[in-house]
Amino acid sequence: MIAVLSSARHALIAGIVLAVVAVVAAIAADGVDRLGLISFLLRATHVVAAMVWVGMIWFVNFVQHAAVTGADDAGRGTLMRLVVPNVAWIFRHASHLVLLSGVLLMLPTGYLLGNWVFGAPVYMSLAKSLLMWGAVAGAVAMWAFVHMFIWPNLQVVLGLRPGNADAKAAARAKVALYARANLLLAVPVTVLMVAAAHLF
Ligand code: HEM
C-alpha cells in the first residue's frame, strides 16, 4: 500500500489497474459484444479525458488565476516556471484526447455514419440530436479557444514567443478571458452530453 501511494504516478497506475481488473471481471462474467466493448473503451477514455480537461479549467479559473494575480514578482516567476507550463501541457493534450475520443464515439453511438456501422439508418429523436450537436458545437468551440487563443497567448506570457511588457499584459488578459469562456461552456457541454446519453 505504501509503495502504491509513494508517488502520484504509482497511485494513478494502481487506480487504472483496479478499474481494468473490475471491468475484465465483469466482462468475464457476462460477456460483451465487439461494438459494445469499443463503445465502452471510447466512452471511458472520453469521460476520463474530459474530467482532466474540465478539472484543469476549474483549477485555472478558481486557483491559478488568483495565485498568479496575488503573488509578488518572485512568486509569480515561480508559478510561471513550475506550475503554469505543466497545467497548460495537461489541458492541451487532454483537449485533443476529448475531441478525438468524442469524434470516434460518434460512430458506435449512431450519431455519425449509422448506416455504415449498423447496416441500417439509426433513429435519433430531434431532442437527442439537438442535445448532442449543441454540446459538440460548444465543445469544439472550447477546443478552438484553447488552440487559437489560450495557448498562443500563454506562450507570450511564458516568454516562449516574443513580446514586450504591453504585449504580455494584453496576452495575459486574453488568456483569462478565454479561460472564463471555457469555464462558461464546460458545464452546459458536460450536462448536454450526459443528457444526450442518458435522458431518453
Ligand atoms: C469539453 C468537452 C467535452 C466534455 C466535457 C464531454 C463530456 C461528455 C460526457 C460526460 C459524456 C457522457 C458519457 C456517458 O455518461 O455515457 C459524453 C458523451 C459523449 N460525447 Fe462528449 N464531451 C466533450 C466533448 C465532445 C466532443 C468534441 C465530441 C464529438 C465531436 C463528443 C462526443 C460525445 C459522444 C458521441 C458521446 C456519447 C453520447 C451518447 O452516448 O449518446 N464529446 N461527453
For position 2, what pLDDT does the model report?
A: 80
Question: If you take atom 13 of ligand 1, which residue's CA is the nearest one?
Answer: 194
Report the largest interatomic distance among the alpha carbons of the chain, rounded to a whole angstrom: 63
**Contacts of 152 by beta carbon, 8 Å cutoff, 6+ apart:** 161
CA distances to 49, 94, 162, 166, 192 from 111, in Å: 20, 23, 44, 46, 15
**CA 115 to ligand 1 centroid distance, Å:** 21
Atom 26, ligand 1: residue with shortest CA distance? 102
Q: Which residue is closest in CA terms to ligand 1's atom 7? A: 190
101, 48 Cβ separation under 8 angstroms? no
Write down the number of H helices and E strands in the chain.
9, 0
Whether the Cβ atoms of residue 105 and residue 136 lie closer than 8 Å to each other: no
Which of 132, 127, 110 minimizes the C-alpha distance to 200? 127
Residue bearing cell 485555472? 60
Give nearest CA residue, ligand 1 atom 37: 197
Residue whose C-alpha cell reads 502520484 in the numeric block = 8
Q: How far from each other are the two terminal CA atoms of the chain, in whole angstroms? A: 42
Ligand 1 centre to CA of 11 (Å) is: 26
Among protein residues, the one whose CA lies closest to atom 18 of ligand 1: 193
Residues flanking ligand 1, CB < 6 Å = 43, 46-47, 50, 53-54, 98-99, 102-103, 105-106, 109, 111, 136, 139-140, 142, 186, 189-190, 193-194, 196-198
Distances from the Cα of 70 to the Cαs of 52, 58, 63, 84, in angstroms?
A: 25, 18, 11, 15
How big is the chain, counted in residues?
200
The predicted pLDDT at position 22 comes to 98
Low-confidence spans in the chain with pLDDT less than 50: none
Task: Give the residue extent of every domain in the chain.
Answer: 1-31, 33-198
What is the spatial distance between Cα 25 and Cα 23, in angstroms, rounded to a whole number? 5
Kindly report the protein residue whose alpha carbon is nearest to atom 17 of ligand 1: 193
Contact 88, 73 (CB under 8 A): no
Write out the H or E segment, with its range, that includes residue 182: helix 165-198
CA of 101 to the centre of ligand 1 (A): 9
Quote the mean pLDDT of the chain.
Answer: 97
Mutating to test ligand 1, I would choose from 46, 99, 145 the residue with most ligand atoms within 8 A of its C-beta, which is 46
